[in-house]
Structure 1
Amino acid sequence: MPHRRTVLALGLSAVVLAGTSRHTALAAVDDEAYVMGYFTESPSRLADRYALHLAVSLDGLTWIPLNQGEPVATPASGTGGLRDPHILRRHTGGFVVVATDLLGTDFTRQNQYIHVWDSADLRSFTGYRRLRMHSMPTHTWAPESFFDAARGRYGILYSARHHGRDALYVNHTTDFHTVSAPELFFDPGFDVLDGTMHSHGGTHYLYYKSFVDGRLYGARSSTLDPGGFTTYTSGVISGGIEAPIVVKSHTRDEWWLWGDSFSPINGELYAWRSGNIDVDSWTALTKAQYDQPLNAKHPTICGITRAEHDALLARWGAPAWNRVKSYNLPDHYIRHSGYAGRIDPYPFDPYPDSQWSLVPGLADGAGVSFRSISHPGHYLRHTGFAVVLAADDGGAAFAADATFRRVPGLADPAWTSFRSANFPDRHLRHADHLLRVDVVSTETDRRDATFRVGY
């Protein structure tokens, strides 16, 4: 069954949900999908876009970037850039987006403001404004909003300096136009950043990054009172990470904890799962179990309906390109480098070297050919059974060498393998990271020849 999110309509205002207008004090939304908001960075800064990007997912683990991976909203004032966006479904219907007002990586800059947008459906963004949160000589990082039902208002949580260290502050608001005075929300006595809120079963969970050991920790409270949270986890770690997000599955008692690598040089997202958020038990997922949008940094994830998911795809469109992941090295993607076809660990630049248009096969329309995004008119082909990137010469031999038939994955039928069109006893595989078309006979061969087509 889908997760039912309660949406409170204050007074007699109309709530429009999935195309239905209701005058009610309490309505419900059946969340069956997810939307992710993020900005982008890559190791050599090629992908740096400090604006709002969106991706959607039906299972919460595999993602489709929208708008060809380009921004859907860009700040109109302040620094002109954003980091750390957060999307919240308002209890009166529609959404609000808040974000750090920061362009690039100048983390020494003081700024008392955040960016704010309103959105009825995430297909358009209105009412852009900067909202001043405090007058302290410090930053206002990673804002995240939540609804405080006991007080009938929203909280906006963010990181700012307190007594020489970073702590979490909160301001309250009913309209995201004016806010109350800042209150110290969580200060364990050492530097913490990136607070994220999750409520379930009458308990509120606050996850954060600790600078003591670089781990993600969880605290909990029966109220949303400032100062009322007590840490209950021992810390989750998978490298230098920050930016936790806690997301519940819509279909079962399963939670995912996402974390972001600290540096764009290692710009990737990590994920863990738990069957019970109330205990200290998080298990790391492998890269075979989840994907991330290309170059996504410090994301936010919000539940949406299936109708909203489909409407976002219709509005912004799925990418006209794909990335192809290795089965047995699932952090590696097919790319070209020096015109050789190979697999390399994500992330890397130039990242367009891993983007492909899987077009109808040049020699057989029932097959596929890998057309390069970064080198128009170039395709992956085999020559001497080694796979290279080459310009289409229009010849029959080139077309045959560049055509493959998609078949169920040789190591896992839920994945994909690619059989050579002109050497049907051979499949595309990697060997010492280089791509070849080879006869597949062993279990290792089958794993090397299995891939997932995604984004």
Structure 2
Amino acid sequence: MATSRRRFLALAAATPLAVTGTLSLGAGTAQAADSAYVMSYFTESTSLGDGTDYGLHLAVSQDGLEWTPLNRNNPVVTPTEGDLGLRDPFILRKQDGTFVVLATDLKGTDWTYVSQYIHVWFSTDLCTFTGYHRLKLHDMNTHAWAPEAFWDAGRGTYAVIYSAVNDTAHNVIMVNHTTDFLTASEPQVFFDPGYDVIDGDMAVGVNGVNYLYFKKNQTLVGARSTSLDPGSFTEFSTAVAHGGTEAPELVKSLTSDSWYLYGDTYTPNGVFYVWQSGDLSTGTWTALDQKTYTQPVNSKHCGIRAITSAEYAKLLTYWGTPSSNRLKSYNHPARYIRHADFVGRVDEYPIDPYLDSEWTLVPGLADSTGVSFQSVNYPTRYLRHYDYQLRLDAGDGTSTFAGDATFYRTPGLADSGWTSFRSYTHPTRYIRHADHVLRIDPISMATDRQDATFRVGY
């Protein structure tokens, strides 16, 4: 049986998980016990200031689309060798059921730094990490970018793929083989179509076919092969992109035959976009509405792996969740509630500074059954209405301020799975956006209901 890259693909039958019977699954097919996902990533804010961290970050999800950052979106482990930072982290579940984490050896954006090494950690549960070291992959004067790995059952080894410039003078995808992630074989060219390719991502053994997705000319493209031999993959898919897009991540749904393809814009504080396909063999993808997914704030170059419900629960308990929330607009899902010059607005992600869009939802100042929106970066200030427009003001201890800053959560007026907020002092009015500015208004039309509906997430 084969496993593959940061998606939640197949696991070996002999794992410590409580799985009965004999499993014969190809990578890309989640084993029966898997019911959730873990994402690995690093963070970069737009200004490369607050919110930027080149350690290993984790988030969890039950559907692979809506994510909860762990450890309050702080790193869970950070490299202590090489450039003392990482990019492009990847999680693989090994054949024994434990995890190995791989990552690029680079802190920040000094593209002149060259490392032939990658970072490596081992973990039984992604709560504690052991055996940290760097693994050397080659002797070329070029970096080892965006490492990933998969189980090559025919060879009985793990294949580590990564991007590098070899003697062809353009980026290719290289491969080394290893049994223990402590030593590796000599490098080989795994995929070289004759033009620059980076960020390889594999799905192994899907109905007898192996799929490799990669970045080509700022788009995401797929190749396939019935073997895992170097040089055997042939490009076949339709390219997808949203602006300049990189870091493809193939994700198998745990509840249907669908696949998701994640991509990341390559600017700091990149934006994730997601496409869906019902059949990998077609090579065609449909863009998902941004209402259906939310990336962890400031996340870059994600990797995604299937986990069990017990692992999901343990990660939440061990690391904890953020103490603040972000609120996404229903009909403008690229936009989030934020304050700017102390005016309430919905603006497009990424938001700089990102803390302008972070809120602590506290018990209502006028009624504890309601909520008040406390600013994270101005914690003495709350979102309140004044002449029906929302602004960020300092609490003055009066009952008038408390009432103006208190709202009741209700099922979303446009979608009951989302949330709307009714004013405490004007119970016929709800928070809504109009020309991207927040107000409290009566709601009557379908557009009004959409303007007044938000997702409370992270």
TM-score normalised to structure 2 length: 0.94
**Mapping for residues 258-407 of structure 1, pairs under 5 Å:** 258-264=262-268, 267-407=270-410
- Post-superposition CA distance 1:170-208 (Å, at most 9, x none): 000000000000011000000000000012122110000
Residues 25, 216 of structure 1: alpha-carbon distance in 2 compared, 3 angstrom cutoff: closer
Q: 2:200 maps to what in 1?
A: 195
Rounded to whole Å, the distance in 2 between the matches of 1:237 and 1:63 is: 22
Give the CA deviation at 1:394. 1.2
- Aligned partner of residue 273 in structure 1, secondary structure: strand
The gaps in structure 1 that reach 5 residues or longer are 10-14
Residue pair 1:5, 1:29 contacting (<8 A) in 2 also: no
Match of 1:209 among 210, 215, 221: 215
Q: 2:164 maps to what in 1?
A: 160
Give the CA deviation at 1:348. 1.6
Residue pair 2:9, 2:252 contacting (<8 A) in 1 also: no
Rounded to whole Å, the distance in 1 between the matches of 2:134 and 2:253 is: 33
Q: 67-76 vs 40-49, which deviates more?
A: 40-49
Rounded to whole Å, the distance in 2 between the matches of 1:396 and 1:219 is: 64
- Aligned partner of residue 311 in structure 1, secondary structure: helix
Match of 2:445 among 406, 430, 442: 442
Give the CA deviation at 1:150. 1.3
Rounded to whole Å, the distance in 2 between the matches of 1:65 and 1:269 is: 15
Match of 1:424 among 424, 427, 445: 427
- The answer to whether residue 232 in structure 2 is matched with residue 228 in structure 1 is yes
Residue pair 1:6, 1:26 contacting (<8 A) in 2 also: no
- Aligned partner of residue 172 in structure 1, secondary structure: strand
Rounded to whole Å, the distance in 1 between the matches of 2:410 and 2:23 is: 52
Counterpart residue type for residue 16 of structure 1: P
Rounded to whole Å, the distance in 1 between the matches of 2:112 and 2:235 is: 29
- Post-superposition CA distance 1:29-84 (Å, at most 9, x none): 61110000000011111222111000000000000000001000100110000000
- Aligned partner of residue 77 in structure 2, secondary structure: coil
Rounded to whole Å, the distance in 2 between the matches of 1:138 and 1:8 is: 38
Residue pair 1:4, 1:29 contacting (<8 A) in 2 also: no
Aligned residues: 443
Q: 133-142 vs 43-52, which deviates more?
A: 43-52
Rounded to whole Å, the distance in 2 between the matches of 1:230 and 1:236 is: 17
Give the CA deviation at 1:223. 1.1
Cα RMSD between the aligned structures?
Answer: 1.7
Residue pair 1:17, 1:29 contacting (<8 A) in 2 also: no
- Aligned partner of residue 137 in structure 1, secondary structure: coil
Rounded to whole Å, the distance in 1 between the matches of 2:449 and 2:304 is: 35
The percentage of aligned residue pairs carrying the same residue is: 56
Q: 2:4 maps to what in 1?
A: none
- Aligned partner of residue 445 in structure 1, secondary structure: helix
Instruction: Identify the structure with bigger relative contact order (alpha carbons < 8 Å, sequence gap 6+).
Output: 2
Give the CA deviation at 1:215. 1.1
Counterpart residue type for residue 11 of structure 2: T
Residue pair 1:29, 1:305 contacting (<8 A) in 2 also: no
Match of 2:181 among 164, 176, 180: 176
Give the CA deviation at 1:415. 1.1
Rounded to whole Å, the distance in 1 between the matches of 2:86 and 2:74 is: 14
- Post-superposition CA distance 1:114-169 (Å, at most 9, x none): 00000000011111000000111111000001111111110000001021100000
- Aligned partner of residue 291 in structure 2, secondary structure: coil
**Mapping for residues 52-91 of structure 1, pairs under 5 Å:** 52-91=56-95
Rounded to whole Å, the distance in 2 between the matches of 1:6 and 1:57 is: 19
Residue pair 2:428, 2:442 contacting (<8 A) in 1 also: yes
TM-score normalised to structure 1 length: 0.95
Residue pair 1:248, 1:255 contacting (<8 A) in 2 also: yes
Counterpart residue type for residue 175 of structure 2: V
- Post-superposition CA distance 1:4-46 (Å, at most 9, x none): 943254xxxxx4226x9x9x99996611100000000111112
Residues 102, 365 of structure 1: alpha-carbon distance in 2 compared, 3 angstrom cutoff: same
Counterpart residue type for residue 289 of structure 2: T
Rounded to whole Å, the distance in 2 between the matches of 1:25 and 1:190 is: 39
The gaps in structure 2 that reach 5 residues or longer are 1-7, 26-30
